Amino acid sequence: MKSELLVYIDGKYYPKSQAKISVYDHGLLYGDGVFEGIRAYNGVVFKLEEHIDRLFQSAHTIMMNIPLSKEQILQAVLETLRKNKLTDAYIRLVVTRGIGDLGLDPRKCPRPSIIVITDSISLHAGEAKSKGITTMLTWVKRNPVDSTSHEVKSLNYLNSILARMEANISGFDEAICLEKNGFVAEGVGENLFIVKNGEIFTPPSSAGILSGITSKVVARIAKDLGYNVAETNITPHQLFNSDEVFFTGTAVEMVPIREVNRRQIGTGSPGPVTKRLMAAFRKVVRDPREGVLVNP
């Protein structure tokens, strides 16, 4: 019988069924915390250091002091993978504000809690990668940069959940959010790229979107392959009339989009640029130079 996965919580390991936090944790009560989704491929934790850097940046913005160093968190991630004997996994690294009272004041939370979950995830797998997915522009706008900006990878994902609910109800695979001025922002948990006349475009950080680690890798791959990649505002009209569109993200990896709001994108199938980038991406994520080895 397969043993139960272990979850790291504040320096201790608990079986998955017994891994718990307090009902007074402000991460639960108010979504007060930050997280990262990370992947391990064939014993390589892809861009682990970059994910931990972004975790600390998010924590800095919400004025939360993580009680471990970056190196200590890196080792906690690796040790959790080792204890679970996982070389291919999805890793959820969470830092909550910690236990407080029923009030909002974060000063009542003396110590943040650190959680490491190592498991698996499957988003838009199988035919989605070979045929593409359907999407819609949702009424749910991305929060502006002077609000609970999605530049911070926080535990408050209601904005994304509402958008995903609309996509579910409307019969689409995924939703695309606009920013407050009506330009394209991102998916509910993914960055977005369009291809037009052999050039690649993606929304700028000023749209209040998460600075994607996977999106940066894909942009780098594209440039190495000779494509021009530019950050620019993208209108719904430009999105509808793209030759190709695709999502990037740690959980989703890369997935083509074949339809937006019932408008066919390009030929209605993954285009040549997208397919070329996906093939190159699959090689890069397994390169030991692109991450940290679970068992060096």
pLDDT at 1 exceeding the cut of 70: no
Architecture of the CATH domain 6-121: 2-Layer Sandwich (3.30)
Q: What is the pTM of this model?
A: 0.96
If you average pLDDT over residues 250-261, what whole number do you get?
97
If you average pLDDT over residues 127-153, what whole number do you get?
95
Of residues 166, 205, 164, the one with CA closest to residue 187? 164
For 56-114, what is each residue's pLDDT tens digit? Answer: 999 999 999 999 999 999 999 999 999 999 999 999 999 999 999 999 999 999 999 99
β-pair partners for 192:
247
For 161-186, what is each residue's pLDDT tens digit? Answer: 999 999 999 999 999 999 999 999 99
How many C-beta atoms lie closer than 10 Å to residue 241's C-beta? 13
**Nearest-angstrom CA–CA distance, 114 and 98:** 9
The single-letter code of the amino acid at 197 is N
Which residues have a Cβ under 8 Å from the Cβ of 66 and sit 6 or more positions away?
55, 56, 59, 73, 95, 112, 114
Per-residue pLDDT band for 296 (boundaries 50, 70, 90) equals: confident
127-284 has CATH 3.20.10.10 classification: yes
Query: What are the domain boundaries of the chain?
Result: 6-121, 127-284
